[in-house]
Amino acid sequence: MVDFSLWDIFRNLGLAARWTIGLALVAFVGGGAVGLALLLARLARLPGAQRGVAGYVQLFQGTPLLMQLFLAYFGLALFGLQVSAWAAAALALTLYTSAFLAEIWRGCVEAIPRGQWEAADSLALSFGEKMRHVVGPQAARIAVAPTVGFLVQVIKGTALASVIGFIELTKAGTMIANATFQPFTVYACVALCYFALCWPISAASRRLERRLAHGH
Amino acid sequence: MAIETTAATPTAPAAGTPAGSATAPIVRIQGLRKRYGTNEVLKGIDLDVAPGEVVAIIGKSGSGKSTLLRCINGLEVFQEGALSVQGLPLAHGQPKAMRELRQHVGMIFQNFNLFPHLSVGRNVMLAPTLVKQRDGAAAAEQARRLLARVGLAEKFDARPDQLSGGQQQRVAIARALAMEPAVLLCDEITSALDPELVGEVLRVVESLAAEGMTLLMVTHEMNFARKVSDRVVFMHAGRIHEMGPPAQLFGAPATPELQQFLAALH
């Protein structure tokens, strides 16, 4: 049997962590773009957007991420689309993230006083100008902290992609544990890796929140 | 009693306008009705405003006076009737038409509603640069001129939250004027101010009136309304209940509702 040192465990986990980070980034950037589009469709009162987006958000908030991953992986295969575990995980996490961000950001937009909208309307600003110059900047300021906080949720959420065979941090941990017969040590290392990724982000989120709370 | 007087009012505007009935009205409101669900808050408003006219709208809270004002630039949707500004009909749900109309109508709010993330100068410059595509230098020059006019020349780079309420409201006036509106709507613009700051705002409004700006103002400042306005509109229960020159309305109120309203103020 090959002997695994603690260094070997961390080295292998480190390699797999790149996929965790990659998946989280794809989900966050893609989810942010989709979420913003959903939010704008809703705010612009496009026909059907109000109900459509609300339903979309309810769907993804009301079902476990694990089920969404299963459905993306096995469901697409059912339609004859052979997707890799990577693609399925990226898709599911992007949709999941978009639903949550659309809802988080909607709350931030709704926190902007109605008088700001009315002042912008009175000055004949178009919807796009209002969003870009009046409501957007103010909402973005409020949104920073909860958005960064949600990034932590997404990073931890990527662990579930291990169940459809995507080799990221958790899946790598399982494989190493099977090889070394030291599950406690290995999973403790896995947990430490997640902590090392998430803690700095949480800390940054808290710092931002404090700073933004103290005026501008 | 109430019904009789309102039935009589549609003929009054022409008589009340100082410019005479020959000039085309700058604001024309005909048969305007607004409902929230089954609750009708405006029950058929007819009002013509002549260019350069200063109209004060008074009445109890809930009489519909603010709602009427907010209908004029489309902040409130109404269900029946027609409204036009400088011949441009107000068309809800048509962004282009609304944008065109709103360039002719400025509005000043009770709570100032300055954009807190922009400097005072940027607040004034924003709409002209976006909507009228004025270039930055020209917009800045105009903003400085307008801020000087409301007595705040040195505040160009200040943040709104560094100003007093009276100063913020004067910036809001400069911001509205930057769009060079034909009509200015003032919605209880001194109600949120400390008493000692009311005067500085009213002086600016008075100077606008003196320069011939068309003004429609909902106000609780009866002395100001009496002094500055050409015509006073008393609203009661969603209707224009009584209307006429300030001397007539304040000096010899015809309806018991207006008599009661004025008596309650003292």
User: Which ipTM was obtained for this model?
Assistant: 0.88
% chain A with pLDDT above 70: 97
Q: Which 8-state DSSP code applies to residue A79?
A: T
Residue A15 has which token pair? Answer: 């390699």
User: Which of B70, B99, B117 best tests the A interface by mutation, with the highest count of A CBs <10 A?
Assistant: B117
- Contact yes or no for B103 and A115 at CB 8 A: no
**Whole-angstrom distance, CA of residue B233 vs CA of residue B55:** 7
Cβ–Cβ < 8 Å for B121, B160: no
Per-residue DSSP letter, A5: P
Are B117 and A216 inside 8 Å of each other by CB?
A: yes
* Residue among B100, B103, B113 minimizing CB distance to A119: B113
Q: Cα dihedral sign for A119, B225, B68, B105?
A: negative
Residue A45 at interface with chain B, using a CB cutoff of 8 Å = no
Question: Tell me, what CATH number does A105's domain have?
Answer: 1.10.3720.10
For chain B, the residues whose C-beta falls within 8 A of a C-beta of chain A are: 73-75, 95, 98-100, 102-103, 105-107, 109, 111, 113-117, 126-127, 130-131, 159, 161, 172, 175-176, 179
Q: With b meaning 16 or more CB within 10 Å and e meaning fewer, what string describes B29-53? A: beebebeeeeebbbbbbbbbbbbbb
Structure tokens at B166: 């009276």
Q: At what angle do helices A136-157 and A183-213 cross, to 10 degrees?
A: 170
Query: Which has the closest alpha carbon to B70: B31, B105, B119?
Result: B105
CA of B220, closest CA in chain A: separation in Å? 21
What is the tens place of the pLDDT at every residue in A153-183?
A: 999 999 999 999 899 999 999 999 999 999 9
Distance in angstroms (rounded) separating the CA atoms of residues B213 and B207:
9
- Which residues from B are below 8 Å from A134, CB to CB? 115, 126
Q: State which residues form the domain around A169.
A: 6-213
**CA of A121 vs chain B CAs: smallest distance (Å):** 8
Nearest to B230 by CA among B208, B214, B242, B218: B214
Question: Which chain A residue is nearest to residue B175, measuring alpha carbons?
Answer: A123
User: What would the two tokens of residue B184 be?
Assistant: 């200015």
Residue A105 lies in a domain: yes
Residue A1 lies in a domain: no
Q: Domains of chain B: which residue ranges?
A: 2-104+183-265, 113-180
In A149-199, DSSP assigns E strands to none
User: In what helix (H) or strand (E) does residue B81 lie, and over which residues does it extend?
Assistant: strand B80-85
Nearest chain B residue to A135 by CA: give it.
B115
Question: Is the Cβ–Cβ distance between A94 and A26 less than 8 Å?
Answer: yes
Question: Dihedrals φ, ψ of A13, to 5°?
Answer: -65, -40
From first to last of its 266 residues, chain B has per-residue pLDDT tens of 344 444 444 444 444 444 444 578 999 999 999 999 999 999 999 999 999 999 999 999 989 999 999 999 999 999 999 999 999 999 988 999 999 999 999 999 999 999 999 999 999 999 999 999 999 999 999 999 999 999 999 999 999 999 999 999 999 999 999 999 999 999 999 999 999 999 999 999 999 999 999 999 999 999 999 999 999 999 999 999 999 999 999 999 999 999 999 999 87
Judge whether A94 lies within some domain.
yes
Contact B265, B59 (CB under 8 A): no
Cα separation, A216 vs B160, whole angstroms: 12
A216 contacts B130? CB cut-off 8 A: no
Residues B104, A129: Cα–Cα separation, whole Å: 18
Best CA proximity match to B92, nearest among B104, B108, B107, B75? B75
| DSSP helix/strand/coil, B233 | strand
B237 exposure class (CB count in 10 Å sphere: 0-12, 13-18, 19+): middle
Binary contact (B75, A118; C-beta < 8 A): yes
Residue A67 CA: distances (Å) to CA of A20, A73, B261: 19, 10, 66
CA distance B231 to A179: 91
In angstroms, the CA B29 to CA B14 distance is 13
Which residue, A201, A186, A141, A165, is CA-closest to A21? A201
pLDDT class for A77, splitting at 50, 70, 90? Answer: confident
Phi-psi region of B54 (alpha: psi -120 to 50; beta: other; left: phi over 0): beta
Name B187's Cβ contacts closer than 8 Å, sequence gap at least 6: B66, B69, B70, B107, B108, B109, B110, B217, B218
Q: What is the pLDDT of residue B14?
A: 41
Number of folded domains in chain A? Answer: 1
Question: Domain B2-104+183-265: which topology?
Answer: Rossmann fold (3.40.50)
CA distance linking residue B2 with residue B16, whole number of Å? 20
Q: In chain B, which ranges are continuous DSSP H helix? A: 2-8, 12-16, 65-72, 95-102, 120-131, 136-149, 165-177, 195-210, 222-228, 246-251, 256-265
> Do B40 and B78 contact (CB within 8 A), yes or no?
no
A138 touches chain B (CB under 8 A): yes
SS3 B23: coil
Question: Which one of B102, B114, B176 has the shortest CB-CB distance to A121?
Answer: B102
Model confidence, pTM = 0.85
Over residues A114-156, the pLDDT tens digits come to 999 999 999 999 999 999 999 999 999 899 889 998 999 999 9
Which strands sit side by side in the sheet containing B231-236, from one edge to the other?
B105-108, B183-187, B214-218, B54-59, B231-236, B239-244
Report, in angstroms and rounded to the nearest whole number, the Rg of chain A calculated over CA atoms: 21
Collect all residues of chain A within an 8 Å Cβ-Cβ radius of residue B102.
121-124
